[in-house]
Amino acid sequence: MRTDTGRIIHLADYRPTDFVLERVDLTFELDPTETKVEARLIFHRREGADPSAPLVLDGDDLNMTGLMFDQMELAAERYTATPESLTIRDLPETVPFEITVTTQINPEANTQLMGLYRSNGIYCTQCEAEGFRRITYFPDRPDVLAVYTVNIIADKDANPLLLSNGNFLGGAGYGPGKHFAAWFDPHPKPSYLFALVAGDLGVVEDTFTTMSGREVALKIYVEHGKEARAAYAMDALKRSMKWDEEVFGREYDLDIFMIVAVSDFNMGAMENKGLNIFNDKYVLADPETATDQDYANIEAIIAHEYFHNWTGNRITCRDWFQLCLKEGLTVYRDHEFSADQRSRPVKRIAEVRHLRSEQFPEDAGPLAHPVRPTAYREINNFYTTTVYEKGSEVTRMIATILGRDGFKKGMDLYFERHDGEAATVEDFVKSFEDANGRDLKQFSLWYNQAGTPQITVSSSYDAAAKTLTLSLEQMIPATPGQSNKDPMHIPLRFALIGANGGEQAPTSVTGGEVSGDVLHLTERSQTFVFSGIASRPVVSLNRSFSAPVTLHFSQTTDDLALIARFETDLFSRWQAITDLALPNLTTAAGAAAKGKPISCDKGLLDALLAIAADESLEPAFRAQALTLPSESDIARELGSNNDPDAIHAGRQAILKEIAVAGAATFEALYKGLVSDAAYSPDAASAGRRSLRNAALGFLALSENTPVAAAEAFAKADNMTDLSQALTVLAHRFPDAPETHAALASFETRFASNALVLDKWFQIQATIPGDGALDRIMRLMQSPNFTASNPNRVRALVGTFAFGNPTGFNRADGAAYRFFAEQVLAIDKRNPQLAARLLTAMRSWRLLEPTRADHAREALMTIERSASLSNDVRDIVDRTLK
Ligand code: 0A1
Ligand code: ZN
């Protein structure tokens, strides 16, 4: 385990390496516990570099078993090897030289899942960000690009499959019982994109003909017997390849593209060149075992990893501070892909919900950091929603500011200029500036200033002058290390809606730049005056969520209801419903805390029921509208001194009132949306299921019996309906015999399917209330709980901490203490996983004082632990600061 050194890496310290790596030849002799790795590395000193500088290679927990210099033994005084580095001195000033270093590693013992490890008997690698240094000594940084040849030797019976990046060169027998394979990747790449897989897997094969007519072999490797469940992933891959050609003009560049699904993986997936490795959760799907959400995730993640081939692999990052350069951009690309494949507004609503529930709290708490951070202690902790999702929103704003064509010109220039390079955020922004002749200096603050901008808005209409005045003021909250912020360039899409729903176009605007439907807020405070407005309009601001900001705009219930009814931008309609609901839900929380009566606002009730029954709206949108802001949304809105029990009770009371008032509507929806057709994961069918299941949730509330949900569970012919029915049963009627029976039958039926059992754990982990902790502890003792599998740990412990506000925030602090113990235990095996789980406590300061004290105590228990990983040390220190 990499323990804490306290060392902080700073962007400002970036220097190129002293040596240029020309070639890499790797030979692996695979063995479960004693794998031998030979790395032949050819270097030359960089022109202008210090002629006496030694070569310093990174290592992590390495055991060196041999070292040669230009094929000869190297005198002991010329090198120093530790598990963490290899330093070689007295190297040639100009001529290239060759280092051959041999290491021995133990894949079986690698529980961190970084470097070379074994998952269910399959050898696989994870090298981003700094895993390659756990395989061999290497300049393990993203700006060192080289061409790799890889030879793999292994037992033939156990490992018929030997894979690495690039194109297959050849293979043959290799002594008794062994064989070897050689791979060559012609594209220079950094070490974090290296991959190796060996083992015995089944395969699904297809081909794709690129836009220039080349045929690419497509292979998805999965455990034997699971091949049929990879069909949707293959379909998503082909659609992704086509879309990237059509929309971004990007063609695939090797003869083969491979995906391997493994069951033990720290993240979602990894874009290794030509050999993506996936958490099997994002590959395997069939109607019986996968939900609509699983299908959508698979589509998005297959696309994301594939799109990295250009945004990440062909153009990579100069250093890890530039992570958003590949991640923010690639998330933007996968969002656009899904929007094109599915319903754009519904996709946008889901994205914004996710951003608000995950990224906004990060940006408002102790772990806040800019989209491009300037310092880190552990890079693994910067694979955050800020880098990914806010990074995507920043890219989206560039597209909003420059327009579709301007954005495309900028992207084309970026690809043209930087293909084959390790680039920076500045390179990226400059491509857009140069391609469009537009200065984006102020806009670039989005990369450097953390915190969600808060925009206070007011409007007034002058009937005599026929003008609308819109005043905006931006405030960017202080975040760790950044107290004073400069005003940002915030592009806000808007519409001025008339009383009958039509849009009003101004004859002129003063006060700042307005181009088309985009208002550019660039000053700290700015007043725009719109002329030629015939009657008082309702302002719909931040349409489609054009900027990742929070608006403070006190619009009347009538104005919001008008937006909810007439906006042509469906996102804004949904936003108006949310804006109607939130004050109701915060008031309800306050009333619940004081034991006062709770009631749902009539305007909200009417708007919701109208949308629920509006056949002209797509079902998926109606389901989104009926899904009121979550308990954590309400907590965020309340800001501080939060009591999760009161929030839960208030929200439940409002839901119940809606359920009772709309009982007839929900019953009609539930009955009317049954389908006899065979299951199809397409967006329209999924939308109908989501509306029907939303209706089922309301019916369970109004009827207050488990009958409807138990019947739905019995009749379900797909995993979406089955798991939704089980969720309603478990969450609303946790003690009912129907619920116990359903949980037991689900467990028995899917006992051999780990991904489905994860759902069983998740559903139970989110049952609200004080009893949750005991339930979690009991479930951890169940024979199905495998602590070594990250998906399982996330499903139970992670879901409890992130997704069960009342259970996790028990007033007596018992769940925090339990959680701290878990984090410490997990840290011993898998620091990355432990650190990620621990971020669930980032908003502890917003809790009411008793809970906050308990949370601090639990965090301090972790902090006091003597042997923390660098990962957990970094998170706990920042969370407590
Ligand atoms: N680059 C991958 C995500 C990833 C990051 C780190 C990992 O290990 C520490 C693994 C995967 C992506 O964006 O998909
Ligand atoms: Zn990515």
Measured by CA distance, the residue closest to atom 1 of ligand 1 is 270
Report the 10 Å Cβ neighbour count for 856: 19
- Please indicate whether residue 305, judged by its CB atom, sits closer than 6 Å to ligand 1: yes
To test the ligand 1 pocket, which listed residue (112, 113, 117, 128) has its Cβ within 8 A of the most ligand atoms? Answer: 128
| Residue 2 reports pLDDT greater than 70 | no
Q: Does ligand 1 lie within 6 Å of residue 271's CB atom?
A: yes
Q: Which atom from ligand 1 is nearest to the alpha carbon of 380?
A: 9
Question: Hey, which residues does 190 pair with through a beta bridge?
Answer: none
Please state, in angstroms and rounded to a whole number, the distance separating the CA atoms of residues 57 and 133. Answer: 9
User: Closest residue (by CA) to atom 13 of ligand 1?
Assistant: 327
What is the β-pairing status of strands 454-462 and 550-553?
Answer: parallel
Which ligand 1 atom is the nearest neighbour of the CA of 301?
14
- What element of type H or E holds 101? strand 97-105
Task: Evaluate: CB of 266 within 6 angstroms of ligand 1.
Answer: yes
Orientation angle between helical segments 570-594 and 644-661, nearest 10 degrees: 120
Is the pLDDT assigned to residue 801 strictly greater than 90? yes
Q: What is the pLDDT of residues 205-261, one digit of tens each?
A: 999 999 999 999 999 999 999 999 999 999 999 999 999 999 999 999 999 999 999
pLDDT at position 605 over 70: yes
Judged against a pLDDT cut of 90, whether residue 5 lies above it is answered with no
Q: Which residue has the tokens 């009627």?
A: 733
Amino acid at 508: S
- Closest ligand by atom to 833 CA: 1
Q: Has residue 781 got a pLDDT over 70? A: yes
Q: Is 269 in the pocket of ligand 1 (CB under 6 A)?
A: yes
Q: Indicate if 305 belongs to the active site.
A: yes
Question: What is the structure's pLDDT at 3?
Answer: 63
Q: With the C-alpha atoms ordered 584, 585, 590, 594, is the resulting torsion angle positive or negative?
A: positive
Q: Is the dihedral of CA 658, 661, 667, 669 positive or negative?
A: negative
- Using the mean position of ligand 1's atoms as its centre, give its distance from the Cα of residue 266 in Å: 8
380 lines ligand 1 (CB under 6 A): yes
**Confidence tier at 97 by pLDDT (50, 70, 90):** very high
Residue nearest to atom 3 of ligand 1 (CA): 270
Q: What is the pLDDT of residues 658-685, one digit of tens each?
A: 999 999 999 999 999 999 999 999 999 9
Q: pLDDT-based confidence at 500, cuts 50/70/90? A: confident
Ligand 1 centre and the CA of 265: distance in Å? Answer: 10
**What pLDDT is stored for residue 240 in this prediction?**
99
The answer to whether 113 and 3 are in contact (CB under 8 A) is no
Residue 35 has pLDDT above 80, yes or no: yes
Name 735's Cβ contacts closer than 8 Å, sequence gap at least 6. Answer: none
Q: Which atom of ligand 1 is nearest to 326's Cα?
A: 13
pLDDT band at 846 (very low <50, low <70, confident <90, very high): very high
Q: Could you give the CA distance from residue 397 to residue 710 in angstroms, rounded to a whole number?
A: 46
pLDDT of residue 223: 98
ipTM exceeding 0.90, yes/no: yes
Ligand 1 atom nearest to CA at 269: 14
pTM of the model as a whole: 0.99
The catalytic residue among 305, 358, 389, 657 is 305
